[in-house]
Amino acid sequence: MDLRGQNAIVTGGAVRLGLAIAHKLAFEGANVCVHCHSHAGEVQGVLSELRGHGVAAVAVAASFTEPVAAAQAVFERANSELGPVSILVNNAAIFEAATLASTTEDRWRRHLAINLQAPAFLCREFAERLPEGRQGSIVNIADWRGLRPPAGHLPYTVSKAGLIALTKVLAQELAPRIQVNAVAPGAILPPPGAGKDALKEMAERNPLQRTGRGSDVANAVAYLLKSEFINGEVLHVTGGEEL
């Protein structure tokens, strides 16, 4: 897919990996609808930066704790301001440490709603609204933990494992018009609120002995979007951490 002139939605696109992805798509010539929720204060500055690439950029605020209504609101905004959407990047997620003993019903529900249900219903809106005769592409931002689950982040890890399963199922259901792939990042950014030693500790856990950058994930997303014969793939961007 040539990204120039395409209309894209990036969920959680105002900060961190989502911001890097939104910038990459805008740099490649795509118009971008940035979804945000808790970072609505930063989004106007983000839109100005994206427009600096010569593309259109709009924002939509929605809480994915209500995944069906939020998915509809995101697409209504994108379609009305940009036109039909041909690229969807499901990036928004929450990441909280919890064992089985410490997992509350609310924590379980929020992780599944935001990290798994919202992407599923966004994919449904995407497929239903894609104009006849148009090709589309979806990239889900997963996590290497979804395929090699460690202990300690139970609701998060289960939600990301589900996102990988969703990717593989929809790659079959939505073909041939829509390709569905995933990127599984590793040591890229420290968790929000982590101390200054977090990156050093993360680097020590992978063979390359260093952390990646947001641009590494963004480039992987762009690669999958541009590729015409990759479908149902989970591309690791981890430095080999999952090995």
Chain Cα centroid distance, residue 14: 12
Distances (CA, A) of 137 to 50, 51, 145, 230, 236: 21, 22, 24, 10, 18
Catalytic residues: 156
Q: What string of DSSP letters covers 88-100?
A: EEE-------B-T
Contacts of 87 (CB under 8 A, 6+ apart): 1, 3, 6, 7, 8, 9, 25, 30, 136, 137, 138, 139, 225
Residues 6 or more apart from 125 whose CB is under 8 A from it? 71, 72, 74, 75
Residues with Cβ within 8 Å of 105's Cβ and at least 6 positions away in sequence, in order, are none
Task: For residue 45, give both structure tokens.
Answer: 């500055």
